[in-house]
A and B are shown apart, each in its own frame.
Chain A
């Protein structure tokens, strides 16, 4: 277990919502990354969380860029730093909309080109910054302001899209498991080339639960098996023990869905689709870990 450094790079003066796990996660990401870091942030909640000019809650350089452009901007930075012989970490910290929807072309391009950077998608499963509209990452059944009857389509499988780029390191994480997140960021930054971390980020206003239950929601997402923690290092998949246990003996799905207003009145069909998607994901991951695919 790596001890977490005492240094803080995200100060308490953020303008995040109460219970925000995107900012909580960012705190651990920056502890792992340290001061020789540039954070590239497209339009997303973090563009707001970092504070209002002339103040900033960050103690690392933060470069804000247009919605679709995070990964491409990081490409340019990584190239310039490499030329200058600098080891500076280039980390994109982008929401799900800026990743699975509008930013996926730039992300795919940067991964394909072998860009030396870490891309973190913090996923609160909707366009949070604009008031919770549906994104490609919104799960089936979830109510958003543009899916008032619940989303009928499944959550886009970002991880399989990213994995298809055969990158040296990718992982999933969740703010409810900060030590795991810290370790994965640390490991990612020790590997040259493109790295990716998909970070589930429970969101009290978006998911409509009480702010003090954020960590609990994250843990339930993992313990129900809906969100699987794993890492894939040079093609070698390792599922976290907590997720292995959850796959064998999952917590009841109702424990996770019940407290969230976005799933109120979820149809049986949508719930069945959630479960079917989860089980398919488990089968794929277990088979891969067992070397069966």
Chain B
């Protein structure tokens, strides 16, 4: 059905379509609309789920882990400080192989208080064992949330998935949305290691060095296998519902001499900058990075690369710039822009491209 929705409402609608058995969540700006909507669905009866109004995000993730292993599909949503408060339990969810799906509305971290978009919250979770996808439109927020359940619950994966959308810029924007009837696109929830009282097991028991590393390797093995599962899922989604996704969204990249790499809405804004630059005769392209984990294999050889990081690792650099540098053997021009909702327009992005300097780092708006 064609309708209009905010990013938050689209995520809630997709979560409902996936029929979770348990939703445990805690409000935080700018994510709150998602949990309000899910609570409303449960109250009005359009979602047959247990809604657990937990007292913290740490408990939200703990409850999702408990419910997941007890046999229920689970969903939660958070943002910023909520995500950081969950940090410990994010590792636990991945290590316990519980396929929790979570929306994270990307928001800056305090102090000072700032509720606008930034990606540092999610990037600070990059080593937790979660799959992470970043979306660039309301439609994609919906589609990625649906696909997240299928990917996460696939027996070759069994790892949690985080769907990231930009705070306010995407969570609160109203755009058109084509909803779907998911049918058997998401198979019934079936966890091979779900609790079975007829087969008592010790979960997460004291594990000595000679066994522990095998469990870690198993996470990495599944993370590697998830690339194929993601590819299959995105192909099947395209076959059924007609919208095509991949590890990146490439716009005018084929003959491009210079590529802009960015996450989320900045990656969409970059497409407009690319059109401007093309009009000027600059062969630019936009490669919007969708999947952060597993990190895709990118072929950037022989081209200039401009990476826009809406994040920063202090004392090190832009996380995406460094990720690109280390995986593609390119020397990108690293731009740090959009922190805490800093306004970045397509004109600004076009200027980044014109002023690119391989290997250099530039903080947008900072002159000293």
Contact = CB atoms under 8 A, between A and B. Distances in A.
B66 A40 contact: yes
Contacts of B197: 35-38, 60-61, 88
Contact of A76 (B49, B74, B207): B74
Nearest to B211: A53
How many of chain A's residues touch chain B, expressed as a range? Answer: 35 or more
Given A35-B200, A40-B66, A75 B24 contact: yes
Contacts of B88: 66, 68
Contacts of A54: 211
Interface of A: 35-38, 40, 47-48, 50-54, 56, 58-66, 68-69, 71-77, 79-84, 88, 105-106, 108-109, 112-113
Interface stretch (B51-59, B114-122, B172-180, B352-360): B51-59
A59 B50 CA distance: 29
B21 A80 contact: yes
Given A38-B70, A76-B24, A80-B66, A62 B205 contact: yes
Contact of A69 (B21, B72, B89): B89
Contact of A53 (B54, B66, B72, B207): B207
Given A58-B200, A66-B89, A80 B71 contact: yes
Interface residues of B, number: 41
Contact of B71 (A71, A84, A112): A84
Given A66-B62, A84-B71, A109-B55, 6 more contacts: A53-B211, A69-B58, A80-B22, A80-B66, A82-B50, A109-B59
Interface of B: 21-22, 24, 49-50, 52-56, 58-60, 62-72, 74, 88-89, 92, 195-197, 200-208, 211
A77 B67 contact: yes
A249 B64 CA distance: 50
B334 to A, nearest CB: 36
Contacts of B71: 80-81, 84
Contact of A77 (B69, B206, B211): B69
B94 to A, nearest CB: 13
26 contacts: A35-B197, A50-B206, A51-B205, A53-B202, A61-B197, A62-B205, A63-B204, A64-B202, A65-B65, A65-B204, A72-B24, A72-B58, A73-B63, A73-B66, A75-B63, A76-B22, A76-B65, A79-B63, A80-B50, A82-B50, A83-B49, A88-B195, A106-B58, A106-B62, A113-B52, A113-B54
Contacts of B49: 83
Contacts of A53: 202, 205-208, 211
A80 B72 contact: yes
A67 to B, nearest CB: 8
B55 A56 contact: no
B200 A80 contact: no
B47 to A, nearest CB: 12
Contacts of B24: 72, 75-76, 79
Contacts of A47: 205-206
Most chain B CB atoms below 10 A, which of A36, A38, A69, A109: A69
Contacts of A69: 58-59, 62, 65, 89, 92
A75 B74 CA distance: 13
Contacts of A58: 200, 202
Contacts of A75: 24, 52, 54, 59, 62-63, 66
A61 B55 contact: no
Most chain B CB atoms below 10 A, which of A63, A73, A76: A76
A61 B70 CA distance: 11
Nearest to B23: A79
Nearest to B194: A80
A50 B22 contact: no
A56 B205 contact: yes
A112 B56 CA distance: 13
Contacts of B202: 50-51, 53, 56, 58, 61-62, 64
A72 B204 contact: no
Given A51-B206, A63-B204, A83 B50 contact: yes
A62 to B, nearest CB: 5
A194 B66 CA distance: 17
A77 B55 CA distance: 16
Contacts of A48: 206
Contacts of B208: 52-53
Contacts of A106: 55-56, 58-59, 62
Contacts of A52: 205-208
Given A58-B200, A69-B59, A77 B70 contact: yes
A133 B52 CA distance: 34
Most chain A CB atoms below 10 A, which of B62, B68, B211: B62
A76 B70 contact: yes
A62 B200 CA distance: 8
